[in-house]
Each structure stands twice: as structure tokens, then as C-alpha cells.
């Protein structure tokens, strides 16, 4: 599953994939694969990104449009 919102949130925050990878304590390539849907993003990473972007996990996962 491709998570367009991961990329949108990152771009809106003016962050690089490397900077987001640093937030998640993983390699940039690992994060890129999450963003592109090549690998499923783990729950812990969704929670961490929701905290980082001050949004909900539901928003990141596309379950709601309310940020």
C-alpha cells in the first residue's frame, strides 16, 4: 500500500527522507520503502510519525481526512 500522506507530510514539513529516517532511527532506504509502499510501515513507526507531525495515525493511514 502506497502512503501518499507520508510523502505529503514530509514535503509540507520541508524535510528530506533522510531527516525523517533519522526521526525513526532507521536508514533512508528503509524509510523510502515505507513511503513508496514497497514495505509495510510498522505500527511503531506510524505512531512515531503521528507524534512528530502532530497528526493522527488515522490521518497517516488514510482512514480520515481530518488532520
* Cell (9 digits) for 67: 488532520
CA distance 43 to 28: 18
Model confidence at 35, pLDDT cuts 50, 70, 90, reads very high
pTM value is 0.90
The number of folded domains in the chain is 1
**Cα 30 to the center of its chain, rounded Å:** 11
CATH number at residue 43: 1.10.260.40
pLDDT, one tens digit per residue, over 45-60 is 999 999 999 999 999 9
- Tens digit of each residue's pLDDT (9 = 90 or more) over 13-30: 999 999 999 999 999 999
Q: Residue 26 falls within a domain, yes or no?
A: yes
User: Could you give the CA distance from residue 28 to residue 55 in angstroms, rounded to a whole number?
Assistant: 22
Domain annotation covers residue 65:
no
Range of the domain at 48: 4-60
- Per-residue cell: 63: 482512514
What is the model's pLDDT at position 34? 95
Dist CA 47 CA 22 (whole Å): 15
Amino acid at each position: 500500500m502506497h502512503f501518499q500522506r507520508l510523502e505529503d507530510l514530509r514535503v509540507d514539513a520541508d524535510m528530506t527522507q533522510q531527516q525523517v529516517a533519522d526521526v525513526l532511527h532507521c536508514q533512508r532506504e528503509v524509510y523510502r520503502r515505507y513511503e513508496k509502499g514497497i514495505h509495510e510501515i510498522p505500527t511503531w513507526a506510524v505512531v512515531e510519525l503521528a507524534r512528530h507531525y502532530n497528526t493522527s495515525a488515522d490521518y497517516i493511514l488514510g482512514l480520515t481526512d481530518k488532520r
